[in-house]
Structure formats: C-alpha cells, structure tokens
Amino acid sequence: MEFPFRYILTVSELTQEIKDILEDKFPEVWVEGEISNLRVPPSGHIYFTLKDDFSQIRAVLFKMQARNLRFLPEDGLHIICRGRVSLYEKRGDYQLILESIEPKGIGAFQLAFLQLKERLEKEGLFDAANKKPIPMIPQKIGIVTSPTGAVIQDILRILERRFENLHILLYPVRVQGEGAFSELAEGIKYFNKFTDVDVIIIGRGGGSLEDLWAFNEEGLARAIYHSKIPIISAVGHETDYTIADFVADLRAPTPSAAAELVVRDKREIKNTLHYLEGRLEYQMIQILKGYQTDLSHLRKIIKEPGKKIEEHFLRVDDLFNRLRLLFSWTFKRRREKCLHLSESLLLRNPIQRVKNLRLFISEAKKRVGKNINYSIEIQRQRIGGLLGKIDSLSPLSILQRGYSITRKHPSLQILRDASTVKEGDKVEVKLFRGTLLCGVEKTEKS
C-alpha cells in the first residue's frame, strides 16, 4: 500500500487496521494446543495462553460459552478449540476468542468425569465410613427411575418374587437429558423429607456415557451424599461406573441386581429362622436331658427324704411295738414272780413260824411235862444210887473205914510206894478226922 505523501497513523488507527486484517482472515479457526497460565477471574471468563513447543497465543473463553463446558480447563491440558482471532486494542494483544474447547485425546465427558471423581473423592464423598448399611428387611422401598421402560418392570418383578409383601413407592423421573439430574436429586430429597422409606434405589438402563451423564452430575452426587436414607445406585451395565455409584451407600451392577440386593428372599430368611429355632429347641432338650440324667443318677444314690422318713417311721413303730410287747411280758413275769415271792414270803411268815414254834413248844412241853415227872423219879433214883456209889467210893467213906491217905510233905504227892520216901522225910497223914504230920523212922518194902 502506498501513501502519496507521508500519512502518519495513530496507534489506534494502526491497531484497527491490523484488527480488521486479522478478523477477516480468521473468522473461524480450529486450533490445537496446550493450556497454560490459566486464569479465571470472578467475572467467570476464562483466560489462558494456548501454546505449543514454539509459539503461544492468548485465548479467552467468555462466561457465556464457558457455561457449556463439561470439564474444567487445567494447565497442561491439551485441547482443541474453535474460535476467531481478534485483537485487544487496549493492550495491543491479539488473541483467540473461543467458541468452544474440547479436550484432546479424551472425550469431554470422560475428562469431566475424571475431574469430578477426583475432586469429590478428595472431599470425602466416596468414603466408606459414610456409607450407611442397607436394612435387612426394608418394609418401604423408594425407587427413583423412569416409570416406563424395562427397568422398573424388572425391579418390581424381582422384588415381588423375593418378598411379596413390600410397600414400594416410585418417584418417576427422566433419566437422561438436560436437567434430568435435578429430577433425580429431587426424588431423593422428596423421599428424605416426606416419606419414611427404608431404602432408595436410583437407576436406569444401559447407554452411552452421554446417556448416563445425569448420574455423573455433581448435583446428584451431593443429593445422594446428604441423603439420610441409604441409597442403592443401579446404573446401566455391570461395567458402567458413574459418580452416583461411588457416592451411593451400595452400588448394584444392574437395576435387577439392585432388586436382589435390596431385600433377601423371604423364604430364605424364614428357613434360617426355622433352622435357628430348631437348633435352639434341640439344644435346650439336650441340656434338660443332661440335667435329668444327673438328677436320676443322684436320686439312685440318695434316697428320697420322704421315703427315708417313712422307713424311719416304720422302724420306730416296729421298735415301739416290740418294746411294748417286751415290756408287758416282762411286767407280767415280774408280777407273777412277785406274787409268787410274796406268797412264799407269806408262807415263811415269822409270826406264823413263831406261832408254830410256840405250838410246837407247848406240845413239846406237854409231852415233856408228862415225861418229866417220870424221868425225874428215875433220875432221882439213879442219882441216889450214884450218890450211894459215890459215897462208897468217896475217899471220905474210905477214911471212915479207917483207911488213911498218906501224902508227901510238902508236895502232897499221894504215896503208894514206900520206896518213894526215905528216912527223915516228912509225910502228911489224912485221917477220917484230922491230919497228922509224921516223920519217917523206917521204910520197909513189902
């Protein structure tokens, strides 16, 4: 471009020219690069530098467009952007004004999922300690899912089969699309606030990551976390994992599996109870039997006190009888003996004896009396006779006849032999009258 004479531009004029050129040339570009120097001021606009190994360019994603972002832009993230080139006069910077950005090499959804998962995990929303136990016998079950489709049918069918008397409350929602996550969250809040269900099942059938996206939304995750009622998440297929699955108190691989997890088969529980009762009874019987055996065993060793007392009674009575008999017999005998003795005694009565004797004596006296006179006469005669004899024999009579008794003097030894004296001895001669004291003049033997 040529100027006929020197045309001096102002900075603004130059800048404007450049801006026009840029905007004309690059009304829409797709650029690939790495985020750095990311800044998000309170305004909500996202400023960063897009760079590669050799160059860099400033970029901005205004709040309006940023709203649609599913993921969080981060430094180091490789992205593909769509936008236009422009120039910011105030600073003399050219920049990319972006319409949208996408992570490179990974889906936006996937990235968003990973970012949210990491963030919530750090916050502790997935912690096992927060998970509430699912009640074994929920009598009221809340379900948040679509009222149409196979999912609710499957769940209901399985529940009916396992446990026929359940109270099931369905909070119908959309399970995909814009705002579906809000409805799901509302369902949870409703059950918490207005009902007394024991457990909540939220879920849907299988689908793409985008289809399941409602269950990856932060809003739903927080609603699940704050629920006082335990929640079972049942999303898609076995291999699908959503944020809701991580936050929930229990994850079921499929909605049908949720129905099986939420309640045990009623018959199975009844069987268990029956079995336990059986063991209980059996054991009790065993225990009682054991004690019974002990008891009868002991009984054999120890006689019943009642019996023993009876035995004693019998014995005592028996002894008493015998004693009584013995006593009366002995008594009788003694009595008899006593009588006998007293009779004997009576017989030997001294008074009687004396009487008898007296009688005897008087009898004897009488007899003696009779004989005594006779005897006395005879004795008299006898005595007279004897006296006569005595007289005749008496020395005196002999002396009378003229004999004398010569006795030695002084010994008075009667002398019969003359040789017993010698001449000169003294002798005493007793005469019938008087005594002579003589001396021996001469002795002669005859």
Give strand ranges (E) for 282-433: 405-409, 426-430
Whole-angstrom distance, CA of residue 46 vs CA of residue 167: 50
> Of the candidates 14, 29, 276, 361, which one interacts with other proteins according to CB under 8 A?
276
List 406's β-bridge partners, or say none: 429
Cβ contacts of residue 139 below 8 Å, gap of 6+? 166, 167, 198
Using rule CB under 8 A, residue 265 touches other proteins: no
Using rule CB under 8 A, residue 268 touches other proteins: no
Is the CB of 73 or the CB of 187 nearer to other proteins? 187
The answer to whether the beta carbons of residues 181 and 214 sit under 8 Å apart is yes
Using rule CB under 8 A, residue 169 touches other proteins: yes
Is the CB of 72 or the CB of 209 nearer to other proteins? 209
Is the CB of 153 or the CB of 328 nearer to other proteins? 153
Q: State which of positions 284-313 bind other proteins (CB under 8 A).
A: 284, 287, 291
> Of the candidates 77, 204, 240, 244, which one interacts with other proteins according to CB under 8 A?
204
The answer to whether the beta carbons of residues 78 and 34 sit under 8 Å apart is yes
Whole-angstrom distance, CA of residue 205 vs CA of residue 195: 26
Q: State which of positions 176-195 bind other proteins (CB under 8 A).
A: 176-177, 180, 183, 186, 190, 194
Is the CB of 120 or the CB of 144 nearer to other proteins? 144
Task: Identify the CA nearest to 31 among candidates 77, 94, 88, 84.
Answer: 84
> Of the candidates 52, 93, 277, 391, which one interacts with other proteins according to CB under 8 A?
277
Whole-angstrom distance, CA of residue 80 vs CA of residue 103: 6
Using rule CB under 8 A, residue 165 touches other proteins: yes
Closest separation in Å from C-beta 186 to other proteins: 8
Using rule CB under 8 A, residue 382 touches other proteins: no
Helices (H), 53-149: 63-66, 108-123
Task: Identify the CA nearest to 247 among candidates 212, 275, 223.
Answer: 223
Whole-angstrom distance, CA of residue 71 vs CA of residue 114: 9
Structural element, H or E, at residue 142: strand 140-145
- Length of the chain, in residues: 446
Tokens representing 26?
């690059």
- Judged by CB under 8 A, the stretch of 60-68, 71-79, 279-287, 430-438 that binds other proteins is 279-287
Closest separation in Å from C-beta 300 to other proteins: 20
Q: Residues 116-135: x/- map of binding to other proteins (CB under 8 A)?
A: -------------------x
Instruction: Find the distance separating the first CA and the last CA of the chain, reported in whole Å.
Output: 254
> Of the candidates 74, 99, 211, 260, which one interacts with other proteins according to CB under 8 A?
211
- The residues binding other proteins (CB under 8 A) are 135-140, 146-153, 156-157, 164-177, 180, 183, 186, 190, 194, 196, 198, 204-208, 211, 266, 269-270, 272-273, 276-277, 279-280, 283-284, 287, 291
